[in-house]
């Protein structure tokens, strides 16, 4: 006798089928999130290696200029300026891609927050507490000093320029600031805020007019304030030139590389060589106008055109930790007199400590929050798939 209504075995099989299919979809989407297999470029690229190289360039430069050791003066020939500009280009590429791949503005915001905030908060608060041992003030005076709380508050608010130093710490050194690298984090966060607007506009009228207009406006800001600063001898204008509108051209260059790569373009080697020659041989207003294009070309070629030069990121992304932690460590070694007694050995030892701090940061601060981010996305997918 046939069942007129669906029988229980049929209902059960249907539910199990839907749940199995949903689970497979979740696993597939989660693997895409974790492994980035849905990138518009070959998964085998050199972005991890480049970020590590750029972070190392900044470390070497700061070791030389902060220690003021004649033996290490050669490190000041390493261009930290190029490294930071290249970081901004890489950010333009990867952040634009992240924004394009996000299903919502909230998801995008969570990804950016979990990537940058945990380690940044740790280095600001951690340095303020640990460096109490280096202060000329007593512990009671140090922690009750308004400068201590002002440093934490202003740096967490990304206003590093308002409170770069801690009371009684590094006061007799070449630079008293605790972490001179933190000024770029403010720029980076503002890039994060700009990316959704850039993506929204690019989807509606095309990325070429949007990014082209932003490049012109950014270059005009940089060139204009640099001109006023140089001719008026006013450092305030030069500092303004380095702020977000002026640096946006580098981010825009990275975003352009993302969209062009998505369209199937690859930068030829001769273009990268010409860009390198331009960057190394020009100066003044011509350099300021062309540097973002040159850096974007060099980074794009090295990341996407070159064959993959090793899987340096398989154990983690240590570049952000290296960038964040190196200055307080270098400053501490200077305060203890190690660079005065044996600069070369101290440089090598400092690099080892910086790398160890970056490994710690990745495994115990950054990575857990990235896992939490992925877990939260997966949980939402389960809710959406529940029959």
Instruction: Report pLDDT for 187.
Output: 94
Of residues 177, 178, 182, 289, the one with CA closest to residue 227: 289
Whether the predicted pLDDT of 382 surpasses 80: no
217-237 mean pLDDT: 85
Closest CA to 305 of 342, 270, 274: 270
Taking each continuous run of H as one helix and of E as one strand, the counts in the chain are: 16, 0
For residue 3, pLDDT beyond 70: no
Percent of the chain with pLDDT over 90: 71
- Which pLDDT tens digit goes with each residue over 137-192? 999 999 999 999 999 999 999 999 899 999 999 999 999 999 999 999 999 999 99
Between the CA atoms of 256, 218, 112 and 35, what dihedral angle is there, to the nearest 10 degrees?
20
Is the predicted pLDDT of residue 241 greater than 70, yes or no? Answer: yes
**Three-state SS sequence of 129-147:** HHHHHHCCCCHHHHHHCHH
pLDDT for res 26: 43
pLDDT for residue 21: 52
Q: Mean pLDDT throughout 210-232? A: 89
DSSP 7: P
Task: Please tell me the distance from the alpha carbon of residue 49 to that of residue 230, in angstroms, as a whole number.
Answer: 36
pLDDT value for 76: 95
pLDDT mean over 94-104? 95
- Mean pLDDT in residue range 120-134: 97
Residue 276, sorted as left (phi over 0), alpha (psi -120 to 50) or beta, turns out to be alpha
Please say if the pLDDT value at position 374 is more than 70. no
User: pTM here?
Assistant: 0.84
Q: For residue 151, give the nearest of 174, 126, 134, 187 by alpha carbon.
A: 126
Q: From residue 25, how far is each of 11, 20, 32, 219 by CA, in Å? A: 21, 9, 11, 45
- The Cβ of residue 231 has, within 10 Å, a number of other Cβ atoms equal to 9
Region 359-380: what's the mean pLDDT?
76
Q: Decide: helix, strand or coil at residue 223.
A: helix
Q: In the chain, what are the domain boundaries? A: 42-367
What distance in Å separates the CA atoms of residue 97 and residue 117, rounded to the nearest whole number?
Answer: 20
How far apart, in whole angstroms, are the C-alpha atoms of residue 101 and residue 285?
37
**Cα separation of 272 and 244, whole Å?**
26
- What pLDDT does residue 37 have? 36
DSSP 60-105: HHHHHHHH--GGGGGGGGS-HHHHHHHHHHHHHHHHHHHHHH-SSH
Q: What are the distances in angstroms from CA 246 to CA 192, 208, 290, 314?
A: 16, 19, 13, 34
pLDDT tens digits, residue range 8-59? 334 334 434 444 454 445 444 444 443 433 445 556 789 999 999 999 999 9
pLDDT of amino acid 30: 42
Rg (CA), the chain: 24
CB neighbours of residue 153 within 10 Å: 14
Token digits of residue 375:
């877990």
CB neighbours of residue 1 within 10 Å = 3
For tokens 């003021």, name the residue.
68
């Amino acid at each position: 006798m046939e069942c007129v209504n669906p029988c229980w075995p049929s209902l059960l099989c249907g539910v199990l089928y839907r749940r199995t299919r949903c689970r497979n979809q979740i696993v597939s989407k989660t693997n895409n999130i974790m492994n980035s297999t849905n990138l518009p470029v070959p998964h085998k690229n050199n972005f991890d290696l480049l970020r590590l190289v750029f972070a190392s360039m900044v470390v070497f430069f700061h070791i030389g200029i902060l220690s003021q050791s004649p033996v290490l003066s050669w490190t000041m020939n390493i261009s930290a300026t190029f490294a930071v500009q290249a970081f901004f280009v890489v950010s333009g590429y990867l952040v634009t891609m992240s924004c394009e791949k996000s299903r919502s503005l909230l998801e995008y915001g969570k990804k950016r927050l979990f990537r940058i905030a945990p380690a940044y908060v740790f280095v600001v608060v951690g340095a303020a507490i640990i460096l109490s041992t280096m202060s000329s003030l007593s512990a009671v005076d140090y922690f009750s000093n308004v400068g201590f709380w002002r440093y934490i508050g202003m740096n967490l608010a990304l206003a590093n320029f308002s409170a770069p130093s801690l009371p009684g710490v590094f006061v007799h050194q070449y630079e008293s600031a605790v972490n001179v690298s933190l000024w770029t984090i403010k720029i980076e966060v503002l890039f994060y805020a700009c990316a959704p607007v850039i993506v929204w506009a690019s989807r509606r009228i095309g990325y070429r007019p949007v990014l082209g207009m932003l490049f012109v406006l950014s270059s005009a800001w940089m060139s204009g304030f640099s001109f006023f600063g140089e001719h008026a001898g006013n450092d305030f204008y030069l500092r303004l030139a380095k702020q977000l509108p002026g640096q946006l051209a580098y981010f825009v260059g990275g975003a352009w590389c993302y969209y062009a790569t998505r369209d199937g373009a690859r930068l030829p080697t001769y273009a990268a060589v010409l860009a390198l020659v331009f960057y190394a041989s020009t100066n003044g207003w011509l350099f300021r106008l062309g540097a973002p294009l040159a850096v974007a070309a060099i980074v794009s070629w090295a990341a996407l055109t070159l064959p993959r030069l090793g899987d340096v990121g398989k154990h983690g992304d240590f570049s952000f930790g290296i960038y964040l932690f190196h200055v307080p460590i270098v400053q501490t070694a200077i305060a203890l007199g190690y660079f005065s007694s044996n600069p070369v050995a101290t440089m090598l030892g400092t690099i080892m400590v910086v790398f160890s701090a970056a490994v710690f940061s990745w495994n115990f601060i950054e990575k857990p929050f990235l896992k939490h981010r992925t877990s939260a996305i997966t949980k939402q997918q389960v809710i959406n798939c529940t029959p």
